[in-house]
Amino acid sequence: MTEAPAQARGARSRDAIIDTAGELMSRYGYAATSISMISAECGLPPSSIYWHFGSKDGIYVAVLERARTALLAALPSTEVPGADVTQRLDAFLAEVEDALRRHPHGLKLLLGLGMVQQDASTAAVAEVHHYRDALVAWAQDALSAVFGLKDRPEVADELARFTLRMASGTAVARWFEPGVALETGPLHVALLALAAHHDVLGH
C-alpha cells in the first residue's frame, strides 16, 4: 500500500531536482552550479540529490537528456513544405525560431556545461555527443529537403553545421540578453549564399 506513494514521491523529487538544476545550469553554467545551490532552490536536502543522481555529472546527464528530448520533439519535420527553395527555407527557419523560443534552455545547456573540463564523466561527454549528433542529423535532413540535396550530403552537412553555429550564437547571447531570438533574416541570406556557392540553387 505504501510502495506506490513512495515511488510517486521519489519521482516528484527527481523531477523537481532536474527542473531546478536545468534552470540553474542554463542560467549560470555547469561549473558555477553547485549541489548546495540546487538543494536550496528545490528545497530538497543534498542527500536526496545524491541518492537520485550520485553526482553533479549524474544530474547533468539527466538534465541534458530531458532537454534533448524536448528540443528534438519541438523541432520541425525534416519534410519541409513549400513550392520552391525560398518558401521551404522560410518555413524551416520560422519553425526553428519557434522551437528555440519555446525551449530556450536546450542549446544553452549543451553549450554551457563546461564539458571541456578534464574531470567530466564518460557518461556526460557521451550525452553531449549524442545531443550534438542528433541535432546535426536533424539539420542535415531538413536542409537537404529545403535545397534538394539528396545527392550532395556534404553540402547538407555544411549548411546544417552553419545553421547550428548560428543557433548556438543565439544561445550564448541569451546569457546576456534573455530575450534574444534567432535572427532568421540574416541566416536566410547566408544559407542562400552558401547554397549558391555550391551551385545547388537550381533545385
Residue 114 phi/psi, 5° resolution? 65, 40
Check residue 43 and give its pLDDT: 93
Question: From the CB of residue 102, how many other CB atoms can be counted at a distance below 10 Å?
Answer: 11
Q: Could you tell me the CA-to-CA distances from 115 to 59, 123, 203 in Å, in that order?
A: 14, 11, 40
Residue 1's pLDDT is 45
pTM of the prediction? 0.76
Q: Is the pLDDT of residue 175 over 80?
A: no
Q: Please report the DSSP string for 89-138 in residue order.
A: HHHHHHHHHHHHHH-THHHHHHHHS-TTSTT--HHHHHHHHHHHHHHHHH
Distances (CA, A) of 4 to 8, 11, 36: 6, 10, 29
CB atoms within 10 A of CB 138: 18
Q: Does residue 39 have a pLDDT over 80?
A: yes
What are the tens digits of pLDDT across the range 79-120?
A: 888 889 999 999 999 888 888 777 777 766 766 544 445 556
